[in-house]
Amino acid sequence: MFNFHSPSDLQLPARRRFLQEAGLGFGSLALASLLNGESQAEPSANPLELRPPHFPGQVKSIVWLFMTGAPSQVDTWDYKPELQKRDGQDLAGADPKTGFFTTSGKCLKSPFVWSQHGESGSWVSDLFPHLSQHVDKMCFLHSMNLRQNNHAPASIELMCGTNRPGLPALGAWMTYGLGSLNQSLPSYVVLHDTRPRGDDQIWSAGFLPKTYQALALDARRKEVVDNLARDGKHSDAQQRSQLDLIRQLNQEHATTRPTQADLAARINSYELAYRMQMAAPEALDLTKESEATHKQYGMDQPECATFARQCLLARRLVERGVRFVQVFAGKGVGGDGSVNDVPWDCHSDVQTNHRSCGLHTDQPAAALLADLEARGLLETTLVIWGGEFGRTSDSQGAKGRDHNPNGFTIWMAGAGVKGGFHYGATDDFGYKAVEKKIHVNDLHATLLHLLGLEHTKLTYRFNGRDFRLTDVGGELLTEILT
């Protein structure tokens, strides 16, 4: 399809060159990630303005601790005595092609020690000496299941409701529906170490305006926001003047191109960038935290320092009104001692791999729960822990586990959900969800409800169709709600 424009379009290259050479200092800014791609835009002058929910919600912010690589449910939170008893025996109903490779069909018991914790008596493996102290805050969903059985498509399905490329993720939908609590910070922030498989698609704004795109910060660079500082050659007054001129030129450009509605998102991004110059460095400055807080999170311990820093940043961002913070767990260790860029991926040796991942994530995640609670933030914040699928109950090779989308555990803690509560169940071997099965559409419907949004009413028209996060599904999990 060809687009025909007015003769004024002939000036477009010169205009672009002028904007590039205007030298704002924060030019491409961190907002390059917010502007990646094309989409429709909101008619509002400020698409991030605070909007009322459909009804009063209990949750203001969500922190999703994404256990990249998929932890094994039967080695973490879903204790199965039968699996322990029948190690090496045939697993009834085993499908060697459930995962990505081929499994043995023989039961593989958990190599970890299990014990009960809290007033709820919840079973937890010894991978989590710190998190196990918080089980009475946790609402366990033991019957999660997905359609996809490999990391990238499953991660996209978990965050976008389906694995089709180009769809908006949960955090983008939240920001679109509710706006921002802090006009000087992005409402949706991703913290990652190695980029997870599926990377940008997992936190994409899809066809939503790019104002709702996540700001992704890389832990390997100490979560630096690229090109944020103003050029030393310009004063604040000069920068403000240049911004006003660019805004005027952009608006004039946009009025002659009403069908290119993504321009509104670009115009607003410059203003957000300007406001971020003060707010973002302060929010990301961990030197403002006490030494005791650093130690609480484990920042003084090499095995978990990176994840500790990210969890502490998540608390600081939530404290400042960021709606959705997603923290992706970093590197793990494979059975041969090699570094694994998909941390919880335990194909060859579940014991070595999961022990490493437990050390990496346990203390920081527990500290986040404790810190949020101590500050009164857990009353309005929901913390989610989980990966993109589970693991097989039968072995891959001698000591590993393959991918398993048919039954796995996610837990939530904080606002709006019952603590010390267990919902749904897998079979006696933890192989498949058999009781109160939960698809991601059900999880998303419930999360939106906690935010005060009716999932069937949160829609966006694109290509002649009204889309929603839950597609044509989604049942509210009323039993887990307080």
Task: Flag whether 126 is in a domain.
Answer: yes
Q: Which residue has the tokens 């989604």?
A: 474
pTM: 0.85
Model confidence over 101-125: pLDDT tens digits?
Answer: 999 999 999 999 999 999 999 999 9
pLDDT confidence bin for 196, thresholds 50/70/90: confident
Task: Flag whether 99 is in a domain.
Answer: yes
Task: Flag whether 217 is in a domain.
Answer: yes
The pLDDT, as a whole number, for residue 76 is: 98
The pLDDT, as a whole number, for residue 197 is: 84
Task: Flag whether 65 is in a domain.
Answer: yes
Model confidence over 282-317: pLDDT tens digits?
Answer: 888 999 999 999 999 999 999 999 999 999 999 999
The pLDDT, as a whole number, for residue 43 is: 46
pLDDT at 193 over 60: yes
Task: Flag whether 32 is in a domain.
Answer: no
Name residue 129's amino acid: P
Task: Flag whether 236 is in a domain.
Answer: no
Q: Which domain holds residue 301?
A: 46-225+284-480
pLDDT at 68 over 90: yes
Cα-trace Rg, the chain? 23
Residues in the chain: 482
Task: Flag whether 402 is in a domain.
Answer: yes
Query: What percent of the chain stands above pLDDT 70?
Result: 78
Domain of residue 316, CATH code: 3.40.720
Model confidence over 424-438: pLDDT tens digits?
Answer: 999 999 999 999 999
Number of domains within the chain:
1
Task: Flag whether 252 is in a domain.
Answer: no
The pLDDT, as a whole number, for residue 383 is: 98
